[in-house]
Amino acid sequence: MEPLLIEAFGYNKWANLHLLDVCGSFTEEQLQWTAPGTYGTLAATFLHLLAAEQRYVFRLGGSEARINERKDFPGMAALTEQAVLSGDELIAIAPGIAPDETREAKFEAGAVILHLGVVVVQALHHGNDHRTHICTILGHHGVTYGDMDVWAYGRAMGEIAPVGAA
């Protein structure tokens, strides 16, 4: 399963960076855009997405979170830097993840025992969910964001090529 986790976390990092690039030069006003049915503003959604990703890294045995939703928005450049760091760390720790291994975690409701397989699935789902919110906000405001499904990732990584291509 290890190569599949590496690939899945590779897509996760690529997709995060793609949207951060699309929105990287947005004004403060644009970063406050939202749309019905989404998490909140673009700024709040990016911050939540990446702060949670860093918590998943920590729960999987990596470094502690460096950003937090309870603090001020650090700006798009800082979030991009953090997305590279947490994306790289998820890819690096993927080979050591045993789905049945457990760790204790603290939630608002108290301490729990988590199977790492659940943390992995949550990390991937959470990223997709909130990237969808970001895409919804962009579409609602008439901003195109390009093709970013897994097929686009495969083409960008050179892992999909026409038959006969070297």
5-52 per-position pLDDT tens digit = 999 999 999 999 999 999 999 999 999 999 999 999 999 999 999 999
Domains of the chain as residue ranges with CATH: 2-156 (1.20.120.450)
Question: Over pLDDT 70: what percentage of the chain?
Answer: 98
Query: Which helix (H) or strand (E) is 112 found in, with range?
Result: strand 110-115
CA dihedral 30, 35, 38, 43 (to 10 degrees): 10
80-96 per-position pLDDT tens digit = 999 999 999 999 999 99
pTM of the model as a whole: 0.94
Q: Can you tell me the distance from the alpha carbon of 30 to that of 42, in angstroms, rounded to the nearest whole number?
A: 8
68-84 per-position pLDDT tens digit = 999 999 999 999 999 99
CA dihedral 64, 68, 70, 74 (to 10 degrees): 150
Residue 164 has what pLDDT?
84
CA dihedral over 128, 132, 134, 138, signed as positive or negative: positive
Q: Can you tell me the distance from the alpha carbon of 120 to that of 95, in angstroms, rounded to the nearest whole number?
A: 12
